Structure 1
Amino acid sequence: MLPVLALVYQAIQGSAGLWSHLITTILPVAMTDTVILLCGVGLLTAILGTTTAWLVTAYDFPGRGILEWALLLPLAVPTYIIAYAYLDILHPIGSVQGTVRWLLGYSSPREFRLPDIRSITGCIILLGFVLYPYVYIPTRAMFLTQTANLIEASRTLGVSRRSVFWHVALPLARPAIAVGISLALMEALNDIGASEFLGVRTLTVSIYTTWVTRSDLPGAAQIALSLLCVVVALIALERWARREQRYSISAQRSRYFEPRKVTAIKGWLLLALGLLPVLIGFVAPASYLVTHAWARFRFAGLSSRFLDEAVNTVAFAGAATVITVAFGLIVAYAMRLRPGRFSTWFYRLSTMGYAAPGTVIAIGVLVVLGSLDRFIDKISTAWLDISTGLLFMGSGAALIYAYVARFLAISAGGTEAGLARIPQSFDHAARTLGQTTEGTFRYVHLPLSKAALTAAGLLVFVDCVKELPATLLLRPLNFETFATHLYGEAARGTYEEAAIAALAIVVIGIFPVILLSRVGRPKA
């Protein structure tokens, strides 16, 4: 909670004149762009995620098994990487537009060019094709667990397959769709690279430019507070959309929804339709990165900075992962030992950082650790006549703190799910045999929850590697990771220089996709 409380404190320190300046000049444009972006991304992810989930659930066609996990692949591509890739792919003098002009008989970009992707429309499309798996995953799971008797009853009443989707499957999947859209919108709010590359001035971009470019921390804190209000509104809207909705399956031996076999021609058409978001969200940018990374490697080999960036990326993400998993285990295990309202509220408050974008957390961490640095330096100078300088901010501890605060929810949630699968009878049996609480944890809970801890740790590690806003704002001087290197090269327009770093991030991001793809059909 410290970063959020510090953010509120820092925002209050700003003058009333600063607030009026922000309200009249920066916030209207930033808020308008943010709302338009969220509405567009929410609509597009809902359409893509829901239709693809129904496609692979309701129909049996060639390649369906491959498509089920291939639709997860865009999760491996961070939003700023897909923007970086498509800026070059769709450049007016690039191969794509050149081919289109050749087919249409034009010879110059002055005669014909495609609409510029540097727009809010382009940003919505690219973010939508990367973030739709957040809707696809829970919606597909909801469709899979719908019992066959519901579908059969509707078909018996003369309802067509299409009407079954609109009047039975879709209403039952509304909670899953709402959750998926809210997660996608959180990621869109956290984005800074794609929005800035594509010329969209969101609240997140405004925070970064106000802090870094104008050196105005109170102003950045006030914009961040406005962004936090948007996040709270999104969470409230998502919960309101699911108010009083409780769906369950009462039949213990009910058959799950089985897909319908289609003809070969229709099957290939469905496969092509399902592969479209995969091609746009993963295959095209990944192919671009592989091609340019190989060309860069053949021309100049690996950059002298590549090894340092790899060490920085892995070391800081690894340290943050160990701490985050440990804290998540403490929070989740406390809920198991002392269930109740008190531990539940502590769990919610300790994991609230995941709802806040990286820029918001970064400003809060800066205020907290910056003040602590000044306090320690003052005490050390007065007592020992030694200046400690930026002890936390200069060492990278602030960056690790931001990672932990932001991704603790992933660790705690995964660990809690793993512990929930261990029956309480195991605890009682261990205590009956003379084991203490510590012994029960060491010999019973920890071995049985290793898989959940490993999965949570892997997800946290990958998110730390991909995190751009907090890394940009809190990294020490002369410190580069793959993400910051890519951002810097893309900002300068030297895309080929960052292809290898971008490809490394995508390869690392494949690991959670492999985990998610193992989530298959529920057992009958």
Structure 2
Amino acid sequence: MTDAAAPSAEDRRAPRLLWALAALVAGACLLPYAGVILAAAAGDLGTLRGLAGTVLPGYAGATLALVALVGAGTFAIGATTAWLVTATDFPGRRLLEPALVIPLAFPGYVLAYAYTHLLDHPGAVQALLRDLTGWGPRDYWFPEIRSLGGAALMLTLTLFPYVYLLARAAFLLQGRGPYDVARSLGRGPVRAFLQAALPMARPAVAAGVLLVAMEVIADFGTVAFFGVQTFATGIYTAWFTLFDRAAAAQLALGLLAFALVLAVLERTSRGAARYAGRGRPEAGRMRLSGLSAAAATAACAAPVLLGAAVPALVLATMAAGSEQDLLSRRYVAFATNTVKLAAVAALVTVGAAVLLGTLRRVAPSRASNAALTVARLGYAVPGGVIAVGLLVPFAAFDNAVDAVMEARFGIDTGLLVTGSIWLLVGAYMVRFLAAAIGAYEGGLATVTANVDAAARVLGQGVWGTVRRVHLPVLRPALVTAGLIVFVDVVKELPATLILRPFDFDTLAVQAYRLAADERLEGAAVPSLVIAAVGLVPVLLLMRRMRTSG
């Protein structure tokens, strides 16, 4: 492009409407954090002092223990399987390499329902053990699935693909060079992997583990079902059992601080991950045989079987024996509510991502960068924290408006915002906007600045360029972003439980309610639908892995 065709400062100036809309989105993203901070500061510390002397240490200890256990488990499974599928060749590798992503489709609470039905005292495993041995209930010991260890296992089985995907990318980038050098210096296969290959992929692996940690502290369904008292369950208890919103906000503030620390660490790790390798071409996979090949196949197949195949089979068996009818009026209403919420939230979230991404494109500055940074915070913040942060200020707003209207006009306005679908959609947008921005910016990076300049030369402004150039070209990226948000909304539980309108239940809420009543066979039906919906983006990701690997 010649200097004459270069865009002028006037051409690059973003319209005021774009700035206003971007500021509105950024303000909406900041609101829940401000709401949590203000509610926590304004509340009485009496309840919190009582909690500090009773259950608060337990909340903190359980949360940290869960993060440590799941982090260690996902690190071990994700890094090991990623190395095996990238550096070695064994029977079933081509099938298992993409299949290791499938457990992402299953929320942790869905696995919890399936394995409780399978491993609990009345379950098939212990029943078979008693039949084979003739033992009574007190004649043997069996691990308790409803425990902190059980919750850690469920979350490990569904979250290890985060580490696997990032580690796989890092291993593909670095090739086998470091490993081969270590082997030539006399290291065995295991020591060569631990001392050469793994350290070079450490930034990517650390980023994956930190993503897992953020998912762990955000989890509510799994820990609540297993009776593990974490900060997430503590917030819900303070709100709905103790009816103390200030205490809930104070607990949410503590969890928010922990989440933001993890977010900073994850961003730092991701920034360093680009230096994990030198882009050397792959030297070819080592062909395994005999016992080594069988061990590699088993190591990669076990997470897929335990994290996807076994739960799906158990849930299908449970659903077949339940009295739940997916075609009944109630379940059609649950499915309709779920689809409506997810579709509206996806449209709103993708629209917000387009606004922020476009502003950063046409007016790169500290302000536009700050707006994107604020919007990306939501992925690190648990849904329960966002729900509390939105509910507190909007409840105060509704009460204030109702008081003024009642005093001046004798009109009872009730709740205008609180308990509405739009507040719930706003919470989803804050929570999942980072994923939509990532998908949109990834597609926008393929559109060069020359394309924008050509559109301006042809008389198109910012809105015309977006409408006639960016959106048509980026349709696949936009569809991907919308699909990611849609599936995340379908699986989201804590924000939906706290913010949903009265008598407006979704499939996730119905599954949680039935499981809380110990009606696990009934909970299997909505759980299967949630997992099936979650498979859609996973299958797209598997297809991409087949073409790129």
CA contact (8 A) 1:62 1:271 kept: yes
How far residue 152 of structure 1 moved from its aligned partner, in angstroms, is 4.7
Q: Partner residue of 2:368?
A: 343
Give the one of 486, 490, 494 matched to 1:461.
486
Matched to 2:104, the amino acid is: L
Q: Partner residue of 2:163?
A: 135
Matched to 1:306, the amino acid is: Y
Give the one of 219, 234, 239 matched to 1:211.
239
Q: Partner residue of 1:48?
A: 77
Q: Partner residue of 1:263?
A: 289
Alignment of 1:115-134 (within 5 A): 115-134=143-162
Matched to 2:523, the amino acid is: A
Alignment of 1:58-457 (within 5 A): 58-103=87-132, 105-238=133-266, 247=275, 254-263=280-289, 265-296=291-322, 302-382=327-407, 384-457=409-482
* Unaligned runs of at least 5 residues, structure 2: 1-29
- Summarize the Cα distance change of 1:187–1:487 in structure 2 as closer, same or farther, 3 Å threshold: same
For residues 522 and 170 of structure 1, the distance between their equivalents in structure 2, rounded to whole angstroms, comes to 25
- Summarize the Cα distance change of 1:284–1:250 in structure 2 as closer, same or farther, 3 Å threshold: closer
Q: Which is further off, 446-455 or 371-380? A: 371-380
Matched to 1:50, the amino acid is: A
1:12 maps to 2:41:
yes
CA distances 1:265-322 after superposition (whole Å, capped 9, x unpaired): 533332122111111111111111111212326x867444101101111111111111
- Summarize the Cα distance change of 1:147–1:107 in structure 2 as closer, same or farther, 3 Å threshold: closer
Normalised by the length of structure 1, the TM-score is: 0.94
* Unaligned runs of at least 5 residues, structure 1: none
Q: SS at the partner of 2:393?
A: helix
* Number of equivalenced pairs: 520
For residues 292 and 306 of structure 1, the distance between their equivalents in structure 2, rounded to whole angstroms, comes to 17
CA distances 1:450-508 after superposition (whole Å, capped 9, x unpaired): 11111010000000000000011111111211111111111110111222111110100
Q: Which is further off, 438-447 or 176-185? A: 438-447
The percent of aligned pairs where both chains have the same amino acid is 42
CA contact (8 A) 1:92 1:113 kept: no
CA distances 1:110-129 after superposition (whole Å, capped 9, x unpaired): 22241211111111111111
For residues 71 and 139 of structure 1, the distance between their equivalents in structure 2, rounded to whole angstroms, comes to 13
How far residue 223 of structure 1 moved from its aligned partner, in angstroms, is 0.7
How far residue 442 of structure 1 moved from its aligned partner, in angstroms, is 1.8
Matched to 2:144, the amino acid is: D
How far residue 240 of structure 1 moved from its aligned partner, in angstroms, is 6.3
How far residue 434 of structure 1 moved from its aligned partner, in angstroms, is 2.8
- Summarize the Cα distance change of 1:437–1:282 in structure 2 as closer, same or farther, 3 Å threshold: same
For residues 289 and 463 of structure 2, the distance between their equivalents in structure 1, rounded to whole angstroms, comes to 60
CA contact (8 A) 1:97 1:113 kept: no
- Summarize the Cα distance change of 1:485–1:257 in structure 2 as closer, same or farther, 3 Å threshold: farther
For residues 216 and 179 of structure 1, the distance between their equivalents in structure 2, rounded to whole angstroms, comes to 36
For residues 433 and 138 of structure 2, the distance between their equivalents in structure 1, rounded to whole angstroms, comes to 51
CA contact (8 A) 2:211 2:266 kept: no
How far residue 519 of structure 1 moved from its aligned partner, in angstroms, is 3.1
CA distances 1:114-149 after superposition (whole Å, capped 9, x unpaired): 121111111111111111111111111111122455
Matched to 1:93, the amino acid is: P
For residues 259 and 384 of structure 1, the distance between their equivalents in structure 2, rounded to whole angstroms, comes to 78
- Summarize the Cα distance change of 1:341–1:266 in structure 2 as closer, same or farther, 3 Å threshold: same
Please provide the CA RMSD for this pair: 2.2
Give the one of 475, 485, 502 matched to 2:510.
485
CA distances 1:159-191 after superposition (whole Å, capped 9, x unpaired): 544343223321121111111111111111111
Matched to 1:497, the amino acid is: G
- Summarize the Cα distance change of 1:341–1:172 in structure 2 as closer, same or farther, 3 Å threshold: farther
